[in-house]
Structure 1
Amino acid sequence: MDWRGAFVLAMGLAMFAGEARADAMLKDFPYPHPVREFVFTSQGQPLTMVYMDIAPAGTPNGKTAVLFHGKNFCGATWEGVIAPLATAGYRVVVPDQIGFCRSTKPAAYQMSLHQLGANTHALLDSIGVTRPILVGHSMGGMLAARYALSFPAATAALVLVNPIGLEDWSAKGVPPSTIDELIEGERKTTAESIKAYQQKTYYDGRWRPEFDRWVEMLASMYQGPGSDSVVLSQARASDMIFSQPVVHEFPRLAVPTLLLIGEKDTTAIGKNRASPEVAKILGNYPELAREAESRIKGARLIAFPKLGHAPHIEEPEAFNAALLDALTSLPSTP
């Protein structure tokens, strides 16, 4: 980033800070719909899972879509998808997972994909959602896949949007990292480093001003009161993602599955600590998506050749049109 880019980003963050105080809980960051709280006990401690629950804006179709955010995202980043789904008749539920965004970030918690899935299952049960369509992006794709594997009878369909975990990085030669090492890496996070990473990895070198809002959202959690809880939760999440692959279980998925993949994505956990020889073979999303489609029974792949890791943010109109059209082809669900 040159000095002009750094200045623009700094000014943007200054403006953001004037509207919303840096806060690990994002209390002052505007969410697109009112948030609710699900209070429950897990691993012997009270926790609060924040979520949005949006009623159909059009004629209800009797279906519910549950949207799972990624590690560097929040429920709020689904804002461009929520309204089209609601207008099409879907009830839309969008949680912030435990350890992320507005939900509790416990000091002591064994974080696993199954645990987060079970937390979400408990939330959905509490609000009367029985067989939702799961839509997972990035880490949320791994989580949605684990949910579908853990609760197949409670899953109507699975939609994976540029999920990470289409490959097993450890099996391909990426060395492990301790939680302590991951914490040290997270402590170095700044708005500038977030933007640089996303521009290079998510958007194939491209950037538009509207993406800055999501950089500001993420960066604000690393600043001010409670930032240590964010650093710890993010480090645990990185370890969870690396050490709990779901790709080997894709043949066991027993629900209708859609893959919506931006092919310019190059995301790969641990690429920065892999050897050059290993790093260059990681994150090949066109190839990984085709492999996933072949290994998930009945899966359908929809590719976006010019888009990156977050196609629903990068080109929402094209993404939403493809998503809504594909959802109509899924088997009817009660």
Structure 2
Amino acid sequence: MNTRRSFLTVGVGAGAAAALGTAHAAQAAQAAQATARTTPAYDIPLGIAMEGYPSAFPVRFLRLVNQGETVNMAYTDLAPTGPAPATGRTVLLLHGKNFDGGAWEPTARALAAAGHRVVVPDQVGFGRSAKPALDYGFELLAANTAALLDHLGIARADVIGHSLGGMLGVRFALEHPDRTGRLVLANPVGLEDYRELVPAHTTERLFADELANTDLAGIRAFYRSYVVHWRRAYERHVELRYRVTLGGEYPRWALASAHTYQMAYHQPVVADLPRLRLPVLLVIGQEDRAAVGKSYATPENRAKLGNFPVLGRRAAAAIPGSRLVELAGVGHLPQWEAADRFEREVLSFLRG
């Protein structure tokens, strides 16, 4: 009897251990999946249109023809998740050169929660969109953006542009004044003419330099220079930028990047600011020192570039009736570094 009891006890213990092992294995698998979602997979190549990379929002594509080439333009279109404001307007979010539409995630959520429809394109040449070797220009990107609004049946939108997206926002407002309600510029580049302090380079030189820019530590240092305090959330940008260097189509990405550099270098918007005739809000992180081509300038000229406290005040003085918000202790990413303040200022401005 005791032997039988012992046998049964051992038998039940083995079954329980097996069940416990299965449960632990399931928990380990779940933990691994959670880690995979939050830990950058730096050793996995990424397609130049971010193929397979998860998106916070559904991604759609608009087919366009640019300079004779058929291209797909990626975008997200978010419905309001909160009560519509009195204005009821759509907000268009324009990303920077070293970013994609996904960089607007916290702002997009806040705007949708405040009752706005939110449209976030990846411009052609960036993010999830096609990377053709075009003669890029802000007029072309503005025309693509207008075509997207046509496709979505949106007659008029408020525009928020960050970094290079601020340059595009200015050009969009000037090219399509009847389609632009209000304009927010978040640390926009192009508030100075880089050609005065940065030497010009051929696209071939820029392409070669971009091809060689494959060092993970260097890429992280570049993005760290944008912000005052580094946070884990910013690692997304490092991961995306590095992983595309591992893929077979990276040269195509690098060539598109070289072309869009030329666009930003040769088409500053500083001279266009006095022509703006709509409500404009400038949100300027005071620690920002970003400038197009800064690494190509001499040390003396490098020190003169990207002085956003000065550039922001000059821009506000040049834009009739504009409003300036200066954020102390904030760098190039006010929508991330000071999200609460940024969202309050933007929502107040959009309410008019």
Q: Is the 8 A contact 1:38 1:50 kept in 2?
A: yes
What's the counterpart of residue 127 of structure 1? 152
- Structure 1 stretches of 4+ moved >6 Å: 11-14
Q: Classify the secondary structure of the residue corresponding to 2:40.
A: helix
1:144-189 deviation per Cα after TM superposition (whole angstroms, max 9, x unaligned)? 1111111111111111001001111113x22111111111111122
What's the counterpart of residue 125 of structure 2? 99
Question: In 1, Cα distance between the equivalents of 2:163 and 2:219?
Answer: 16
Question: In 1, Cα distance between the equivalents of 2:247 and 2:206?
Answer: 20
**Mapping of 1:28-177 within 5 angstroms?**
28-61=52-85, 62-106=88-132, 108-171=133-196, 173-177=197-201
**Mapping of 1:166-315 within 5 angstroms?**
166-171=191-196, 173-190=197-214, 191-200=216-225, 202-204=226-228, 206-315=229-338
Q: Is the 8 A contact 1:24 1:223 kept in 2?
A: no
Q: Classify the secondary structure of the residue corresponding to 1:101.
A: coil
**How far off is 1:21 after superposition?**
4.5
Question: In 2, Cα distance between the equivalents of 1:114 and 1:20?
Answer: 36
Q: Is the 8 A contact 2:224 2:230 kept in 1?
A: yes
Opposite residue 142 of structure 2, the aligned amino acid is G
1:179-213 deviation per Cα after TM superposition (whole angstroms, max 9, x unaligned)? 1111111112233222101212x114x31222112
Q: Classify the secondary structure of the residue corresponding to 1:228.
A: helix
1:34-88 deviation per Cα after TM superposition (whole angstroms, max 9, x unaligned)? 0111112221121110100000111223200000011110001100111110011
Opposite residue 310 of structure 2, the aligned amino acid is E
**How far off is 1:13 after superposition?**
12
What's the counterpart of residue 24 of structure 1? 48
Q: Classify the secondary structure of the residue corresponding to 2:282.
A: strand
Question: In 2, Cα distance between the equivalents of 1:216 and 1:174?
Answer: 29
What TM-score do you get using the length of structure 2 for normalisation? 0.85
Question: In 2, Cα distance between the equivalents of 1:131 and 1:109?
Answer: 28
Question: In 2, Cα distance between the equivalents of 1:317 and 1:110?
Answer: 38
RMSD: 1.9
Percent identity between matched residues is 41
What TM-score do you get using the length of structure 1 for normalisation? 0.90
1:107-142 deviation per Cα after TM superposition (whole angstroms, max 9, x unaligned)? x31100110110110111111111101100010000
Question: In 1, Cα distance between the equivalents of 2:246 and 2:283?
Answer: 33
Question: In 2, Cα distance between the equivalents of 1:65 and 1:30?
Answer: 23
**How far off is 1:20 after superposition?**
6.4
**How far off is 1:18 after superposition?**
7.9
Q: Is the 8 A contact 1:13 1:216 kept in 2?
A: no
Gaps of 5+ in 1: 1-10
Question: In 1, Cα distance between the equivalents of 2:50 and 2:70?
Answer: 20
What's the counterpart of residue 7 of structure 2? none
Question: In 2, Cα distance between the equivalents of 1:283 and 1:86?
Answer: 32
What is the count of residue pairs matched by the alignment? 315
**How far off is 1:326 after superposition?**
2.4
Question: In 1, Cα distance between the equivalents of 2:53 and 2:279?
Answer: 35
Question: In 1, Cα distance between the equivalents of 2:300 and 2:293?
Answer: 13
Distance 1:255 1:155, change over 3 A: same
1:217-242 deviation per Cα after TM superposition (whole angstroms, max 9, x unaligned)? 22222221321111011111111100
**How far off is 1:300 after superposition?**
0.4
Question: In 1, Cα distance between the equivalents of 2:266 and 2:159?
Answer: 23
Question: In 1, Cα distance between the equivalents of 2:310 and 2:294?
Answer: 17
